[in-house]
């Protein structure tokens, strides 16, 4: 019988797994076994720790040592030094970028200090494939409490009191949604978990499902109890194989333990969950499109009303909540609505998970209390801008959101403030941009995504976004005029005003917010035909500074299109009509003689 | 009835609960432009995906504009249908649609009949401010229908007709985003899809994305070839719709003018498909009575009910969807094909021509007929019984091209012998008509008595599925089912498949209303229920006006049997007038 004294927690999230976490786990286990410690040291996968920038992560319990950027080869040292000799492997500890101090306990890292983990409470703590570990951390206690102590209306009341708002982007009050679905008459109702996370770069929901699948199962059962549904469906994109696998394991375990199925905990409440796979269409995150996709139809939204609460899956009352929303439910039930309201702001209670990305030092998954400022997130948690560059903008809300600037840095993050600032909370994408980012290129990036992901049903979104993209492309090529900017703005407004669903109603936001906040940059592109960030290839030219060029011919040789003329020891020149602006010459030149203008 | 009070364009109005903003506005004379919206009131056909966003209106208190077609009126709503914000949005949306539309109105088949063209004119759009890529697709020409999907505006009307009204399932939206378009699955050719060529998609398409294959050029070439003798047959439903193309009231009977116009066009003989309809009754009626007698005599091999087989869309439908029931429908060819078979044998002999020198043209309200005449089993040594089929619309176009003053033509009669028909034949063009015609003859043949009343009102009407029991003089109650629209036909067929059908005979017409609502009839851009009723009334009036109203009384039919065919259902009749069906459920699917 094992009596573990130490635990090695290896991050088993998709990101770390892509960086050889499997091999790390195998090596650790092998070495532990070789040393005969398999009954004393447990080596397991956990969910995502969040600090993806420094992954793969291995955490040692009970001393809470946080090893970063571990390789499979480091396994031996961790076991032999740390486990056996009790000496921490110094070189694998996190180094604070400012103090250069090594920090062994994650609680003391800037990345974690301001975080409050509610939805992610179990990610990185438990083995997601082991229901006992979930139960050990109060798992299924909330379901038990609801079924035995609370009636459905009281359950709904707690969620209403907590002020929890939907984490999928819209921010609709969750308790109200439950209440509406509860009140709609109907024999058959459904609970749907929206796990069709689709914002570029976002992986909040994936991480929760990978790291703590039982919390979703528990929350869905609670929702089912509250609204009067005995059937739950998880709509998850097929591109999340690990999340699907872990969810399946969790479902089987929950069934084995009698926490799903007939007569749960002997209370007479039945609840079953089925998984439905999405093919990865972004629009299927929109609840009506999601429902149609689950019904086997084309993933297209339909006009609301009727809302899914009234007529959803197969025409039955359906409550659709996002993964992160569900992840909050069991804690709220366990700790009470009042506890939850102590976190966050008055109108946005609780925390929000963000996928922090872009030109920032600490890329990763973070959970912060609502009301925290963008500055705190970017500079304290995120560790500031990479390579000491200047902050330019932060994009929140994914393709539906907007770009905020320096002047918004002290804005407290919550649903309403972000909206007022011209962006939105969205599902939790947060991309930080530095001075080298061109805002036209950023708009183009998002529009390209929207054009690709529009379902094609309504004309403004189907054609309008394409035309927006084409106009942005014109601008980035120096073909835009002031009239283009005018058209861009009018078309953006009309698309927002006339599109059928949330996708089209928000898709011009990246354009409008950058026009609003970076108007000069647009004007520069169309009037001066210049891109100050140097991102718009067509607007820049490479030049060789005669004084600096020694005539080594390195650039001549590396140029793939023979655009550089010059003989040895004579300063070279670039033939602009041939240059494809690949930048190979700049990289090759040892004398910094080649510049862009 | 609960009512809702609201304000539209400063006008206080009151409408029934559940009324959409679009309908409420129309009720009060406020015309909100639409594009994807399509409805046939009275038939429960409605398409309102809320996709085109042309009908958007401003509702006070709402952040975004709302589609009038898909928004229900609510108490106290204040709506502006033509505010500058709305007009700007509407124009921009149409400009966007036009920016992804081929500007080939000069040669487009739908020019003048195009709802998008009308809309652009109505909104005063004089240039398209958005330039950019066009979504382009290959043109797909099937035997009946051309898909020029570059012109598709994703209104989804065709999809709704194909899937909901017809349950054919050939068309649905494919791709996503900018390249989204309605097409058969995997963008396969229509010919390889389950399409029945009923043409209801064509009647609903607002633009030139779906049209019939235009055969007027072929007819002009035949008529201008002195070595050819060109004869024509005209289906019953054409005569009550053709006039609409020349400004007459819907349902006006223009039989005589049509005959005169065809003669002006140069056809050597102008005949009537009705002649073949009478012939069909002789054959199909005989088959029906044969089966009923067999059944009454305890013959277990007898298949009942018998299903009519006049409608080629319907034939395609059951060959594709009910291949296990191929022995249930009547083996009688459709009137068009019976006519062709008789024309190229009996008539060709009579006038001393080889079939190769005789060109048989049909004027049909139908697009599936274009396919039907091309079926392999309807040709002899590579020469088809019917050479060319024109739709009602194409005939109108031809008449206009020939500069014939249609409205002022003096009516003329069909030629003999293949132009003579009874009233029973003319009602083939409306749902219930074929089975009524068959009943008239079957009754008299079965009972040996003369009908007191020729009209069987119980078989008439516009309900999608109808049934009646006809008393055959106390000797037999014949139970009859009628369905029009393929979704209705499917219901009856599923009963047959399940062995639950109570009928002796079922008439099926693929198109709503029967042939009068065929895919080749003048465009009505939705809401054609009134039009259908008037065309129907036109046909029943023509029947009532006829001296002879029972097919077996047609003297030329009697003569045809005497001189040429022998007995109804006899050997020669079988050879020329009957056919067989094929399992088309497994069409060869080739994907690119």
The tally of domains found in chain B comes to 2
pLDDT of residue A596: 81
Q: Which residues of A touch B172 (CB under 8 A)?
A: 298
Q: Which residues of A touch B136 (CB under 8 A)?
A: none
Beta strand extents in B221-268 (DSSP E only) = 229-234
A221: domain CATH number is 3.40.50.11540
B457 DSSP 8-state letter: G
- Asked if A477 and A492 sit in the same domain, the reply is yes
B54: domain CATH number is 3.10.20.740
User: What is the radius of gyration, based on Cα positions, of chain B?
Assistant: 25
DSSP, collapsed to helix, strand or coil, labels residue B11 as: strand
- Asked if A185 and A297 sit in the same domain, the reply is yes
Rounded-to-integer distance, Cα B45 and Cα B165, Å = 7
Q: Is B409 left (phi over 0), alpha (psi -120 to 50) or beta?
A: beta
**Residue A121 resides in a domain:** no
Q: What is the pLDDT of residues B344-367, one digit of tens each?
A: 999 999 999 999 999 999 999 999
B466: which strand partners?
Answer: B482
Catalytically annotated residues of B:
284, 287, 310, 330, 369, 372, 377, 515
Number of Cβ atoms within 10 Å of the Cβ of A414: 23
Rounded-to-integer distance, Cα B259 and Cα A592, Å = 89
**Residue B230 resides in a domain:** no
Rounded-to-integer distance, Cα B363 and Cα B263, Å = 13
**Residue A123 resides in a domain:** no
pLDDT of residue A199: 86
**Residue B527 resides in a domain:** yes
pLDDT of residue A1: 53
Q: Minimal Cα–Cα distance from B127 to chain A, Å?
A: 14
- Asked if A159 and A246 sit in the same domain, the reply is yes
Task: Find where tokens 């005449």 sit.
Answer: B373
The tally of domains found in chain A comes to 5
Reference B240, options B537, B519, B547, B546; nearest CA is B537
- Asked if A428 and A444 sit in the same domain, the reply is no
**Residue B19 resides in a domain:** yes
Rounded-to-integer distance, Cα B157 and Cα B551, Å = 39
Instruction: Give the orientation angle of helix A204-211 with respect to helix A213-227, to 10 degrees.
Output: 100
Rounded-to-integer distance, Cα A365 and Cα A357, Å = 9
**Residue B557 resides in a domain:** yes
Residue finishing a domain among A434, A458, A482: A434
- Asked if A516 and A580 sit in the same domain, the reply is no
- DSSP H helical segments within B297-342, as ranges? 312-321, 335-342
Q: Which residues of B touch A474 (CB under 8 A)?
A: none
Reference B366, options B386, B343, B380, B346; nearest CA is B386
**Residue B218 resides in a domain:** no
Note whether A219 and A327 are within 8 A (CB): yes
Q: Which residues of B touch A283 (CB under 8 A)?
A: 176
Rounded-to-integer distance, Cα B278 and Cα B561, Å = 12
| Tally: H helices and E strands in chain B | 19, 22
Beta strand extents in B103-148 (DSSP E only) = 140-141, 145-147
Q: Minimal Cα–Cα distance from B10 to chain A, Å?
A: 22
Can you give the length of chain B in residues?
592
Reference B492, options B293, B295, B302, B328; nearest CA is B328
Is A46 an 8 Å CB contact of chain B?
no
**Residue B400 resides in a domain:** no
Rounded-to-integer distance, Cα B78 and Cα B511, Å = 41
- Asked if A175 and A321 sit in the same domain, the reply is yes
Rounded-to-integer distance, Cα B367 and Cα B373, Å = 11
Q: Which residues of B touch A458 (CB under 8 A)?
A: 50-53
Reference A597, options A571, A574, A563; nearest CA is A574
pLDDT of residue A447: 95
Q: Is A186 left (phi over 0), alpha (psi -120 to 50) or beta?
A: left
- Asked if A426 and A444 sit in the same domain, the reply is no
B435: domain CATH number is 3.40.950.10
Contacts across the A-B interface (CB distance below 8 Å): 113
Residue finishing a domain among B104, B122, B140: B122
**Residue A294 resides in a domain:** yes
Closest chain A residue to the Cα of B94, Cα to Cα: A459
CA distances to A28, A52, A88, A240 from A104, rounded to whole Å, are 19, 17, 8, 32
Number of Cβ atoms within 10 Å of the Cβ of A443: 30
Contact across the interface for B53 and A298, Cβ inside 8 Å: no
Closest chain A residue to the Cα of B179, Cα to Cα: A456
A104: domain CATH number is 3.40.30.10
Q: Which two tokens stand for residue B517?
A: 């609502």
Q: Which two tokens stand for residue A257?
A: 């333990």
Reference B350, options B253, B258, B262, B415; nearest CA is B415
B8: which strand partners?
Answer: B11, B79
Closest chain A residue to the Cα of B99, Cα to Cα: A463
- Asked if A337 and A397 sit in the same domain, the reply is no
Number of Cβ atoms within 10 Å of the Cβ of B401: 11
B480: which strand partners?
Answer: B468, B505
Q: Which residues of B touch A499 (CB under 8 A)?
A: 53, 64
Contact across the interface for B93 and A459, Cβ inside 8 Å: yes
- Asked if A135 and A276 sit in the same domain, the reply is yes
Q: Which two tokens stand for residue B494?
A: 């599923």
Closest chain B residue to the Cα of A493, Cα to Cα: B89
Residue finishing a domain among A500, A528, A556: A528
Note whether B186 and B81 are within 8 A (CB): no
pLDDT of residue A223: 98
Q: Minimal Cα–Cα distance from B57 to chain A, Å?
A: 9
B318-338 average pLDDT score: 95
Residue finishing a domain among A434, A456, A474: A434
pLDDT tens digits for chain A (597 residues)?
578 899 999 999 988 999 999 999 999 999 999 999 999 999 999 999 999 889 899 999 888 899 999 999 999 999 999 999 989 999 999 988 888 889 989 888 889 989 999 999 999 899 999 999 999 999 999 999 999 999 999 999 999 999 999 998 888 999 999 999 999 999 999 999 999 998 888 899 999 999 999 999 999 999 999 999 999 999 999 999 999 999 999 999 999 999 999 999 999 999 999 999 998 889 999 999 999 999 999 999 998 889 999 999 999 999 999 999 999 999 999 999 999 999 999 999 999 999 999 999 999 999 999 999 999 999 999 999 999 999 999 999 888 899 999 999 999 999 999 988 888 888 888 999 999 999 999 999 999 999 999 999 999 999 999 999 999 999 999 999 999 999 999 999 999 999 999 999 999 999 999 999 999 999 999 999 999 888 898 888 888 998 899 999 999 999 999 999 888 888 899 998 899 888 899 889 999 999 887
Burial of A388 (0-12, 13-18, 19+ CB in 10 A): exposed
Note whether A425 and A396 are within 8 A (CB): yes
Q: How confident is the model at residue B299 (pLDDT cuts 50, 70, 90)?
A: confident
- DSSP H helical segments within B414-500, as ranges? 423-426, 433-447, 486-497
| Cα B5 to the center of its chain, rounded Å | 41
| Greatest alpha-carbon span in chain B | 80
A421: domain CATH number is 3.10.20.600
CA distances to A63, A69, A103, A478, B575 from A59, rounded to whole Å, are 9, 11, 13, 52, 87
Among B92, B129, B132, select the one facing A470 at the smallest CB separation.
Answer: B132
**Residue A68 resides in a domain:** yes
Contact across the interface for A455 and B153, Cβ inside 8 Å: no
Rounded-to-integer distance, Cα B512 and Cα B521, Å = 12
Note whether B532 and B505 are within 8 A (CB): no
Burial of B326 (0-12, 13-18, 19+ CB in 10 A): middle
**Residue A170 resides in a domain:** yes
CA distances to A325, A326, A350, B378 from A167, rounded to whole Å, are 5, 9, 11, 65
Q: Say yes or no to pLDDT of B592 above 60.
A: no
**Residue B153 resides in a domain:** no
Instruction: Give the orientation angle of helix A174-183 with respect to helix A152-162, to 10 degrees.
Output: 150
Q: Which two tokens stand for residue A167?
A: 């984490």
Q: Which residues of B touch A463 (CB under 8 A)?
A: 96-97, 99-100, 130, 178
Rounded-to-integer distance, Cα B378 and Cα A148, Å = 76
Reference A55, options A353, A338, A364; nearest CA is A364
Buried b / exposed e across A66-95, counting CB within 10 Å, b at 16+?
bbbebebebbebbbebbbeeeebbeebbbe
Chain A, window 496-525: residues with a beta carbon less than 8 angstroms from a chain B beta carbon: 496-500, 505
- Asked if A258 and A391 sit in the same domain, the reply is no
Contact across the interface for A470 and B71, Cβ inside 8 Å: no
Residue finishing a domain among B105, B122, B139: B122
Burial of B227 (0-12, 13-18, 19+ CB in 10 A): exposed
**Residue A118 resides in a domain:** no
**Residue B154 resides in a domain:** no
Residue A306: is the preceding peptide bond cis (ω within 30°)?
Answer: yes
- Asked if A285 and A196 sit in the same domain, the reply is yes
Closest chain A residue to the Cα of B57, Cα to Cα: A498
Contact across the interface for B52 and A458, Cβ inside 8 Å: yes
**Residue A356 resides in a domain:** yes
Reference A356, options A325, A379, A323, A387; nearest CA is A379
**Residue A312 resides in a domain:** yes
Structural domain harbouring A251: 131-341
Contact across the interface for B180 and A457, Cβ inside 8 Å: yes
Structural domain harbouring B455: 278-333+422-577
Note whether B201 and B158 are within 8 A (CB): yes
Strands A231-237 and A364-369: unpaired
Rounded-to-integer distance, Cα B182 and Cα A67, Å = 55
Reference B533, options B240, B328, B127, B279; nearest CA is B240
Rounded-to-integer distance, Cα B172 and Cα B159, Å = 5
- Asked if A369 and A447 sit in the same domain, the reply is no
CA distances to A65, A222, B29, B72, B80 from B76, rounded to whole Å, are 64, 38, 20, 12, 13
Higher pLDDT, A539 or B15: B15
Q: What is the pLDDT of residues B511-568, one digit of tens each?
A: 999 999 999 999 988 888 999 999 999 999 999 999 999 999 999 999 999 999 999 9
Q: Say yes or no to pLDDT of B591 above 60.
A: no
Sheet with strand B56-59: strands edge to edge: B11-16, B3-8, B78-80, B56-59, B66-67
């Amino acid at each position: 019988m094992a009596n573990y004294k130490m635990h090695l927690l290896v991050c088993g999230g998709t990101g770390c797994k892509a960086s050889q976490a499997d091999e790390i786990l195998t090596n650790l286990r092998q070495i532990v076994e070789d040393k005969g410690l398999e009954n004393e040291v447990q080596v397991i996968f956990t969910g995502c720790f969040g600090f993806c920038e420094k992954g793969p992560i291995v955490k040692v319990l009970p001393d809470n040592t946080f090893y970063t950027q571990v390789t499979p080869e480091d396994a031996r040292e961790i076991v032999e030094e740390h486990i056996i000799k009790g000496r921490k492997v110094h070189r694998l500890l996190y180094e604070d970028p400012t103090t250069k101090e090594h920090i062994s306990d994650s609680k003391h890292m800037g990345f974690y200090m301001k975080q409050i983990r509610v939805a992610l409470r179990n990610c990185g703590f438990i083995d997601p494939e082991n229901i006992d570990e979930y139960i050990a951390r109060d798992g299924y206690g909330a379901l038990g409490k609801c079924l035995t102590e609370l009636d459905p209306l009281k359950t709904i009341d707690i969620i209403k009191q907590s002020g929890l708002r939907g984490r999928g982007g819209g921010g609709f009050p969750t308790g109200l949604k439950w209440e509406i679905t509860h009140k709609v008459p109907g024999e058959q109702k459904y609970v749907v978990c929206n796990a069709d996370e689709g914002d570029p770069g976002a992986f909040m929901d994936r991480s929760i499902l990978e790291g703590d699948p039982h919390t979703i199962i528990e929350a869905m059962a609670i929702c089912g109890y509250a609204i009067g549904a005995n059937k739950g469906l998880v709509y998850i994109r097929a591109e999340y194989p690990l999340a699907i696998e872990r969810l399946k394991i969790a479902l089987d375990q929950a069934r084995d333990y009698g926490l799903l199925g007939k007569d749960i905990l002997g209370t007479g409440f039945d609840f079953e969950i089925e998984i439905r796979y999405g093919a990865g269409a972004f629009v299927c995150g929109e609840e009506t499109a999601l429902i149609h996709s689950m019904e086997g139809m084309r993933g297209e939204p339909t006009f609301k009303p009727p809302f899914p609460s009234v007529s959803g899956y197969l025409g039955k009352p359906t409550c659709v909540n996002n993964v992160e929303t569900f992840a909050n439910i069991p804690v709220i039930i366990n700790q009470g609505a009042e506890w939850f309201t102590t976190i966050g702001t008055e109108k946005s209670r609780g925390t929000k998970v963000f996928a922090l990305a872009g030109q920032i030092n600490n890329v990763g998954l973070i959970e912060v209390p609502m009301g925290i400022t963008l500055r705190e997130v970017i500079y304290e948690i995120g560790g500031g801008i990479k390579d000491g560059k200047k902050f330019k903008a932060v994009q929140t809300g994914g393709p539906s959101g907007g770009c905020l600037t320096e002047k918004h840095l002290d804005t407290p993050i919550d649903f309403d403030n972000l909206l007022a600032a011209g962006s939105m909370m969205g599902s939790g994408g947060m991309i930080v941009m530095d001075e080298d980012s061109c805002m036209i290129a950023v708009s183009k990036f998002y529009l390209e995504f929207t054009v690709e992901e529009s379902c094609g049903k309504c004309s403004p979104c189907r054609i309008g976004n394409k035309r927006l993209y084409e106009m942005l492309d014109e601008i980035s090529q120096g073909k835009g005029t002031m009239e283009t900017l005018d058209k861009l703005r009018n078309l953006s407004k009309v698309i927002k005003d006339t599109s059928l669903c949330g996708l089209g109603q928000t898709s011009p936001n990246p354009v409008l917010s950058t026009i609003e906040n970076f108007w000069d940059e647009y004007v520069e592109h169309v009037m001066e035909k210049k891109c100050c960030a140097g991102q718009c290839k067509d607007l820049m030219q490479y030049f060789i500074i005669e004084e600096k060029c020694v005539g080594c011919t390195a650039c001549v040789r590396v140029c793939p299109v023979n655009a550089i003329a010059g003989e040895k020891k004579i300063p070279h020149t670039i033939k602009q009509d041939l240059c494809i602006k690949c930048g190979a010459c700049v990289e090759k030149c040892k004398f910094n003689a080649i510049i862009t203008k | 009835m609960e009512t809702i009070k609201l304000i539209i364009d400063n006008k206080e109005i009151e409408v029934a609960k559940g009324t959409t903003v679009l309908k409420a506005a129309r009720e009060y004379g406020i015309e909100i432009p639409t594009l994807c919206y399509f409805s046939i009131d009275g038939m429960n056909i409605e398409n309102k995906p809320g996709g085109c966003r042309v009908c958007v209106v401003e509702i006070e208190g709402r952040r975004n504009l709302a589609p009038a077609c898909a928004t229900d009126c609510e108490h106290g709503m204040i709506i502006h249908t033509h505010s500058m914000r709305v007009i700007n949005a509407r124009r921009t949306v149409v400009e966007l649609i036009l920016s992804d539309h081929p500007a080939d109105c000069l040669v487009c088949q739908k020019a003048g009949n195009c709802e998008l063209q009308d809309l652009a004119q109505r909104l005063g759009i004089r240039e398209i401010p958005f330039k950019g890529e066009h979504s382009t697709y290959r043109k797909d020409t099937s035997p009946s229908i051309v898909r020029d999907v570059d012109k598709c505006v994703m209104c989804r009307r065709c999809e709704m007709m194909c899937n909901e009204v017809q349950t054919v399932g050939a068309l649905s939206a494919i791709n996503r985003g900018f390249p989204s378009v309605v097409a058969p699955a995997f963008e396969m050719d229509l010919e390889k899809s389950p399409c029945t060529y009923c043409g209801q998609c064509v009647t609903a398409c607002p633009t030139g994305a779906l049209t019939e294959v235009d055969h007027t050029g072929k007819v002009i070439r035949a008529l201008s070839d002195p070595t050819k003798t060109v004869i024509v047959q005209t289906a019953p439903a054409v005569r009550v719709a053709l006039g609409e193309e020349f400004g007459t009231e819907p349902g006006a009977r223009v039989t005589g003018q049509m005959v005169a116009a065809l003669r002006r066009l140069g056809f050597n003989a102008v005949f009537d498909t009705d002649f073949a309809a009478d012939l069909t009754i002789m054959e199909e009626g005989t088959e029906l009575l044969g089966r009923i007698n067999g059944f009454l005599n305890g013959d277990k091999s007898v298949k009942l009910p018998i299903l009519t087989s006049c409608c080629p869309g319907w034939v395609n439908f059951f060959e594709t969807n009910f291949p296990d029931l191929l022995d249930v429908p009547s083996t009688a060819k459709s009137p068009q094909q019976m006519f062709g078979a008789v024309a190229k044998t009996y008539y060709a002999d009579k006038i001393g021509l080889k079939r190769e020198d005789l060109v048989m043209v049909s004027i049909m309200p139908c697009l599936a007929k274009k396919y039907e005449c091309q079926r392999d089993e309807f040709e002899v040594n590579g020469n088809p019984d019917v050479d060319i089929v024109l739709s009602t619309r194409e005939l109108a176009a031809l008449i206009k091209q020939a500069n014939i003053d249609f409205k002022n033509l003096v009516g003329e009669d069909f030629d003999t012998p293949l132009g003579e028909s009874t009233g029973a034949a003319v009602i083939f063009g409306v749902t219930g008509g074929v089975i009524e015609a068959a009943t008239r003859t079957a009754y008299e043949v079965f009972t040996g008595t003369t009908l007191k009343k020729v009209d069987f009102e119980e078989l008439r009407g516009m309900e999608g599925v109808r049934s009646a029991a006809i008393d055959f003089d106390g000797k037999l109650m014949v139970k009859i089912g009628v369905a029009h629209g393929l979704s209705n036909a499917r219901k009856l067929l599923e009963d047959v498949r399940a062995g639950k059908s109570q009928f002796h005979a079922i008439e099926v017409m693929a198109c709503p209303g029967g042939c009068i609502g065929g895919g080749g009839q003048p465009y009505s851009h939705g809401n054609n229920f009134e039009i259908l009723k008037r065309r129907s009334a036109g046909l029943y009036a023509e029947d009532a006006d006829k001296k002879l109203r029972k097919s077996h009384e047609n003297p030329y039919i009697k003569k045809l049997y005497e001189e040429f065919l022998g007995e109804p259902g006899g050997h020669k009749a079988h050879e020329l007038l009957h056919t067989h069906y094929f399992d088309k459920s497994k069409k060869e699917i080739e994907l690119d």
